[in-house]
């Protein structure tokens, strides 16, 4: 089994890197953030308060999450595109603080990691979901670099963007993800820390593929 756990703050490039690594080593890729985002979408559609644990318990007990390749299905509906908005990002960061939401996603994620080799990214993969992952990486970058990357993506896609407000949102989300009580964003003791601020995508991929090759030799 080869389980590669990639954790780090929002906008550090985890999903881009994780997908490339998964392709390179013919592994499945699981984006755990997409599951929190899908639940957040359901919570906001239902008009619920993200702090109302009882209401969230009811909602999560009747929620079905599935992956169809790289698409995520929420109760059978493909919501892959709908979950990539700034609003859903903030909601996901909020609902992911709640115990019932974390349990649903953690249980599903650990189940997937028990049965197959994969690359999984998120905030608590190395510290909680796959504590015994063969390779653990903590990817980071300064908030200004992460905001600039996001800004460039939006501009390239022909959308309007404001660098300062993107940076503020990124920092607010970091604050919430790092300071929550349950499985906060933190580097696992045995994870390799990588600051990607001054690295190209190819350099990051090369660094992680070297770690994987070393782990496979052992
Ligand atoms: O990786 P992302 O930006 O799609 O994640 C959205 C939110 O979900 C993030 O702000 C915190 C939460 N999350 C989490 O708490 N644990 C994970 N393993 C993945 C995401």
Residues of the chain with pLDDT > 90: what percent? Answer: 94
What's the pTM value of the predicted model, to 2 decimals? 0.96
Rounded to the nearest angstrom, the distance between the alpha carbon of 119 and the centre of ligand 1 is 15
Residue nearest to atom 15 of ligand 1 (CA): 96
Residue pair 135/212 in contact (Cβ under 8 Å)? The answer is yes
Whether 174 lines ligand 1, by a CB cut-off of 6 Å, is: no
Ligand 1: atom nearest CA of 83 is 4
Residue 25, C-beta contacts closer than 8 angstroms, at least 6 positions apart: 2, 4, 119, 209, 212
Structural domains of the chain, ranges and CATH numbers in brackets: 3-217 (3.40.50.300)
**Residue pLDDT, tens place only, 85-136:** 989 999 999 999 999 999 999 999 999 999 899 999 999 999 999 999 999 9
The owner of tokens 């030799």 is 217
Mind listing the pLDDT tens digit for each residue in 25-80?
A: 999 999 999 999 999 999 999 999 999 999 999 999 999 999 999 999 999 999 99
Give the contacts of 175 (CB within 8 A, at least 6 positions apart).
none
3-state SS of the chain? CCEEEEECCCCCCHHHHHHHHHHHCCCEEEEHHHHHHHHHHHHHHCCCCCCCHHHHHHHHHCCCEEEECCEEEECCEECCCCCCCHHHHHHHHHHCCCHHHHHHHHHHHHHHHHHCCEEEEECCHHHHHCCCCCEEEEEECCHHHHHHHHHHHHHHCCCCCCHHHHHHHHHHHHHHHHHCCCCCCCCCCCCEEEECCCCCHHHHHHHHHHHHHHHHHC
pLDDT value at residue 59: 97
Determine whether the shortest distance from the Cβ of 10 to ligand 1 is under 6 A: yes
pLDDT digits (tens, 9 = 90+) for 150-174: 999 899 999 999 999 999 999 999 9
């Amino acid at each position: 089994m080869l389980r590669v756990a990639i954790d780090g703050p929002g906008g550090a490039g985890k999903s881009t890197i994780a997908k490339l690594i998964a392709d390179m080593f013919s592994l499945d890729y699981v984006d755990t953030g997409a599951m929190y985002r899908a639940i957040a979408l359901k919570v906001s559609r239902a008009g619920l308060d993200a702090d109302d644990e009882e209401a969230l318990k009811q909602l999560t007990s009747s929620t079905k999450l599935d992956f169809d390749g790289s698409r995520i299905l929420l109760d059978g509906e493909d919501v892959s595109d709908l979950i990539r908005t700034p609003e859903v990002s903030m909601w996901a960061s909020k609902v992911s603080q709640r115990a019932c939401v974390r349990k649903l996603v953690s249980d599903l994620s650990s189940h997937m990691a028990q049965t197959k080799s994969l690359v999984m990214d998120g905030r608590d993969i190395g510290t909680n979901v796959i504590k015994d992952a063969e390779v653990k990486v903590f990817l980071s970058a300064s908030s200004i670099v992460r905001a600039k990357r996001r800004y460039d993506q939006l501009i390239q896609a022909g959308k309007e963007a404001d660098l300062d407000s993107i940076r503020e949102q990124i920092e607010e989300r970091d604050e919430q993800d790092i300071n929550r009580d349950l499985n906060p964003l933190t580097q696992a003791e045995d994870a390799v820390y990588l600051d990607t601020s001054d690295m190209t995508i190819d350099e990051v991929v090369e660094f992680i593929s070297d770690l994987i090759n070393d782990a496979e030799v052992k």
